[in-house]
Chain A
Amino acid sequence: MSKSEKVARRIDPRDLVLAIVAARGTVPGRTVLQKISYFLNNALDLEIGFKPYFYGPYSEELAVATDSLVGYGFLEEESLPLSVVKEDESDFDSRQYKYSLTARGKKLVEIRKEKIAEYKLIGEKISDLKKSGLDLQSASFLAAVAKITFIVMRENRRLGRNEISAIAGDLGWKLSPQQIEQLLKFLTVANGPKALKVST
Chain B
Amino acid sequence: MAKTVQGEKGSILEELRDPVHGLVYLSKHEKKAIDTAVMQRLRCIRQLAFTHLAYPGALHTRFDHSIGTCHLAGRMADQVLMRGQKRKAVRFAALFHDVGHAPFSHVGEAVMRRYSKATGSIHEKVSSTIIREDDQINRLLDGDNGPGVDAVASIVEQRNLGFVGTWIVSGPVDADKLDYLIRDSYFTGVKYGIYDLDKVINEMVKVKTKAEHRLAFREGGIYAIEQLVLAKFHMTTQVYCHKVRAKSDAIAFRGICLAIDDGVIKERLFCYEKVEPHLREFLALNDDSLSRLILDGENEYARRMFIFLRDRTLLPTVYAAGVDKERFPDDSQLMSVSGLQDDVIMRRDISKIERDFAEEMDLDPNMVILDIQSVKSPSFSPPEGQIAAEDILILTDDGNRKKFHTVSQIIKGSAGTNEQSKVKLLLYAPLKVKEDKKVQEKSNVVMDSILDGFK
Contact = CB atoms under 8 A, between A and B. Distances in A.
A163 to B, nearest CB: 15
Contacts of B118: 49
B18 interface: no
Interface in A139-196: 169-174
B161 A95 contact: no
A133 B332 CA distance: 34
Interface of A: 1-9, 11-12, 14, 47-49, 51-54, 60-61, 63-64, 67-68, 70-74, 77, 79, 82, 89-95, 97, 104, 107-108, 111-112, 169-174
A77 B415 contact: yes
B383 interface: no
Interface of B: 114-115, 117-120, 158-163, 166, 209-212, 214, 216, 257, 260-261, 267, 325, 331-332, 334-335, 338-339, 342, 344-345, 347-348, 351, 376-377, 385, 388, 390-391, 393-394, 400-403, 405-406, 413-415, 418-420
B331 A104 contact: yes
A121 to B, nearest CB: 17
Which has the most chain A C-beta neighbours within 10 Å: B345, B385, B403?
B345
Contact of A94 (B114, B115, B385, B403): B403
A136 to B, nearest CB: 23
Contacts of B338: 68, 72
A97 B390 CA distance: 12
B212 A95 contact: no
A47 B162 CA distance: 27
B406 A173 contact: no
A174 to B, nearest CB: 5
Contacts of B216: 92
Which has the most chain B C-beta neighbours within 10 Å: A5, A60, A67, A172?
A172
A82 B331 contact: no
A67 B376 contact: yes
B334 A90 contact: no
Contacts of B406: 82, 93-95
A49 B211 contact: no
B271 to A, nearest CB: 10
A11 B344 CA distance: 10
30 contacts: A3-B260, A3-B267, A5-B351, A7-B345, A11-B345, A48-B119, A52-B161, A60-B120, A63-B414, A70-B415, A71-B418, A71-B420, A72-B325, A72-B420, A89-B210, A90-B209, A91-B210, A91-B401, A92-B394, A93-B400, A95-B406, A108-B332, A108-B335, A169-B162, A170-B160, A172-B162, A172-B163, A173-B211, A174-B210, A174-B211
B403 A95 contact: yes
The main secondary structure of chain B at its interface with chain A is mixed
A92 B163 CA distance: 17
A71 B414 CA distance: 10
Nearest to A2: B261
B162 A92 contact: no
A49 B120 CA distance: 7
Contacts of A169: 162, 212
A60 B261 contact: no
Given A12-B342, A173-B161, 10 more contacts: A48-B119, A54-B161, A63-B414, A71-B420, A72-B420, A92-B216, A94-B390, A169-B162, A169-B212, A171-B162
A61 B381 CA distance: 12
A71 B423 CA distance: 11
Contact of A5 (B209, B342, B347, B391): B347
